[in-house]
Amino acid sequence: MNDMSLKNVTKGKLERPFRILLYGCEGVGKSTWAADTPAPIFLGAEEGTSQLDVTRFPEPKTWESALEAFEILRKEKHGYKSLVIDTIDWLEPVCWDYVCRKGNKSSVEEFGYGKGYVAALDQWRVMLAKLDMLKNETGMNIIMLAHSHIRTFKNPEGDDYDRYELKLHIKASGLVKEWVDALLFANYETFTHDKDGRTKGIASGSRILHSERRAAFDAKNRYGLPEKFPLSWEEFASHAKKAEPITVPALNSEIDQLMLTLSEPNQAKAQEAIKRAKGNALKLNRLVDWMRGCAA
């Protein structure tokens, strides 16, 4: 029987499992946030969740073991609804070790001219493909956690400045950020106070999630989330459930803003992509992801 018929066409948002990357400074509560996701199972360094009452895989010592965990969740029956990788920056040296073993090198730098990181990028693509299969076949949410560090941003249009970035190699960082549907930055809410002619930052103790890019950090989301809200899974899920579908006008507006952050060659590429998209929301959404990666 042929199901491909105009009678079977649907419209509106599709309920899909989440693909989320949450990053932030040490101790902000990333693992605790992920522990509240639906029926989670954790994969990562065991000491990272030692104080949490969660289900976890044994800590994988090799890249092959990490990939095997994804296959086990995909093929075997279980009741888990969320896979939490805690953290992907912990997983990166495991990936490098695999690349070095395969290339008979003692370190990823020994490949020369960044070739080791390119080889590692191929393995990240393998991992993301397996995670997509897991998500699509089981309906599991994919939750990635990562640490942040402060790096100087080379600003092509003015003075350089410091910003929070993923604690990953820049190639892997760009790939993973493009893959996820929500890149969320977690931090303590901070207020400034002037005293004796000096400005000081005062942390309120409240923990906040940011869902939109700012000069100080990178973030994005496809769920129509508020720019910031409390660091709580319940808050996130509530906002994501109520979110309106992303519209072409909203995508065009974001493209106009991101265009200002691109170099002239990338602006030209973006303009060509806009013409090819012909108003298609999916293609424009992919373009937005690419532009965010270029701007980061």
Q: pLDDT per residue over 64-78, tens digit each?
A: 999 999 999 999 999
Q: What fold characterizes domain 15-243? A: Rossmann fold (3.40.50)
Higher per-residue confidence, 156 vs 183: 183
| pLDDT for residue 199 | 47
Q: Which of 206, 88, 204, 205 is nearest to 148 (CA)?
A: 88
Q: What is the mean pLDDT of the chain?
A: 85
The rounded percent of the chain whose pLDDT value lies above 90 is: 50
Contacts of 147 (CB under 8 A, 6+ apart): 23, 24, 25, 26, 87, 89, 167
Q: How far apart are CA 292 and CA 117, in angstroms?
A: 21
The encoded tokens of residue 145 equal 């956690």
Q: Does the structure show a pLDDT above 90 at 99?
A: yes
Q: How far apart are CA 218 and CA 76, in angstroms?
A: 36
The encoded tokens of residue 124 equal 């990240």
| pLDDT for residue 10 | 45
What is the pLDDT averaged over residues 141-148?
Answer: 95
DSSP-derived letter for residue 58 is: P
Reported pTM: 0.76
| pLDDT for residue 14 | 44
Greatest alpha-carbon span in the chain: 78
CA atoms 251, 252, 253, 259: torsion sign: positive
Res. 195 pLDDT band, cuts 50 70 90: low
Domain residues of the chain, as ranges? 15-243, 245-296
Res. 201 pLDDT band, cuts 50 70 90: very low
Q: Does the structure show a pLDDT above 80 at 157?
A: no
Kindly report, residue by residue over 23-50, the tens digit of the pLDDT.
Answer: 998 889 999 999 999 999 999 876 767 7
| pLDDT for residue 6 | 54
